[in-house]
Amino acid sequence: MTFIRTEVRENILIITIDRPEARNAFNKPMALELEAVFDAYEANPEQRVAILQAAGPVFCAGQDLKAAAKGEIAMSKTRGGFGIMERPPSKPLIAAVDGQVLAGGMEMTLCCDLIVASRASVFGLFEAKRSLVATGGACFRLPRRLPYQIAMELLLTAQPKSAEEMHRHGYVNRLVEPGESLPEAIRIAQIIAANGPLAVQMAKQIAWTSTSEGWTDAEAWKRQALIVQPLLESLDMREGLAAFAEKRPAVWQGR
């Protein structure tokens, strides 16, 4: 059975979580399937941006607790969590949400670089209600993405917050009407995909790693230089400068 659908539009990969009858909750086969999708995305140089969405009114309710009660934990082989949490993709990932974003589903959005949410969306971490802990990254990533008190309110009260409030706090990049999350995410993805793919990936690598590892400024200058060095010798950098001088669109080769 397939739980994850994919569609390619030019350089954009659209990934759809498709288990609406279970509120898109993850069991182990579903986690492994998503892991394979992200591995293929990483390996395909033609796919420059990915969008993660879901079928039905619930983006994702997290782990399938019925399966977990039987001892089946939704854990992928190499990426952790639901095939995304421990090692998010190195290329850009946009979440397009239109409904409930709960528990591990919210933790998946913490792995995304941008979030587009409809006004019908709510975000919540319900683990404490079941005597569980949000171990998919929320306890350490959420305080880096939100003011500490807001992050702790979500973690400790297990009460949801609206998309409007999450937008005010900067967690949501774009707030749209219901049904417009995917179109807006595609518009953003098209802008990103038009940029130099190597530069985009390196910018993400620096931003994600420096934040997650807590680089000091002194460390950042040194490590950033090592990451960017291949770009300085790339065909794409030469093409970008030539296209600017010649007032024409750049043609990227990804090398």
Active-site positions read: 107, 127
Q: How far is CA 217 from CA 88, 210, 227, 239, in A?
A: 24, 9, 15, 31
In 91-181 the beta strands, taken as DSSP E runs, fall at: 93-97, 100-102, 114-118, 122-124, 161-162, 174-176
- What is residue 11's DSSP assignment? T
Q: How far apart are CA 35 and CA 235, in angstroms?
A: 31
Q: How far apart are CA 167 and CA 224, in angstroms?
A: 30
Pinpoint the alpha helices (H) of the chain: 28-43, 65-69, 104-109, 138-145, 148-157, 163-168, 181-193, 197-213, 217-232, 235-246
Task: Let me know the angle formed at the C-alpha of 157 by 153 and 158, rounded to the nearest 5 degrees.
Answer: 105
Read off the tokens for 208: 């994600």
How many CA atoms lie less than 13 Å away from 235 in the CB half-sphere?
5
